[in-house]
Amino acid sequence: MKAHIDTSELGQSRWYEHLVRFAFGGTVTALAGVIAKRYGPEVGGLFLAFPAIFPAAATLIAKHEEKKEGRENTRAVRATVAAGLDAIGAAFGAVGLVIFAIVVWQGLPSYSMGTVLPSAMLAWAVTSVLCWQLWEMLRARARDKRSHDSKSKQVAPVHIDQPTNRRMR
């Protein structure tokens, strides 16, 4: 499936869901600063890649999927799978985070913040999207192979000369 922007579900999120994300994001940023101040930037830096926002995000995704049409158990499974797919995307995004961090680590202090941070953001975006594309490509190939295998099994060979009726043997 090709990546695209879909604005149809833009109004689906409620105001308190935006507030939850704001609160989580703000809390984690403040916490990272407090930990760095108390234990030093080496420990504080770990929390720059802390997945604190992910549980809230995944829960919201599952909640939105559950509201869609369908039987209750189907909706529940769909909600869990949707959150799981989000987690796969997050894993690829985290690969991009590694590259982001490397660019910042190597870029500073030789280059200014205005150069390093946008470059790091671009590196994150390119790496994450490439990882995702590769995964989609491998998935599509696996799907095609499964489809081809099941089609070839359905077509059973017919031998006209062999009698199928026992009496005829």
Partner 1 sequence: MSDILLRVVVGGLTVSAFALFGDLLRPKSFAGLLSAAPSVAIATLILSLMKEGSQYARIEARSMILGAVAFICYGTVVSQFLIRRKYAVIPVTSVAMVVWLAGAFGLWFAMVRIAG
The secondary structure of 26-75 as a DSSP string is: HHHHHHHHHHHHHH-HHHHGGGGG--SHHHHHHHHHHHHHHTSSS-HHHH
CA angle 147/152/158 to nearest 5° reads 155
Q: Which is nearer to partner 1, 77 or 144 (CB)?
A: 77
Assess 13 for contact with partner 1 (CB under 8 A).
Answer: yes
Assess 39 for contact with partner 1 (CB under 8 A).
Answer: no
Stretch that binds partner 1, among 72-80, 146-154, 156-164 (CB under 8 A): 72-80
Assess 135 for contact with partner 1 (CB under 8 A).
Answer: yes
Site for partner 1 in 14-33 (CB under 8 A): 18, 21-30, 32-33
DSSP state of 169: -
Q: Which is nearer to partner 1, 11 or 163 (CB)?
A: 11
Assess 75 for contact with partner 1 (CB under 8 A).
Answer: no
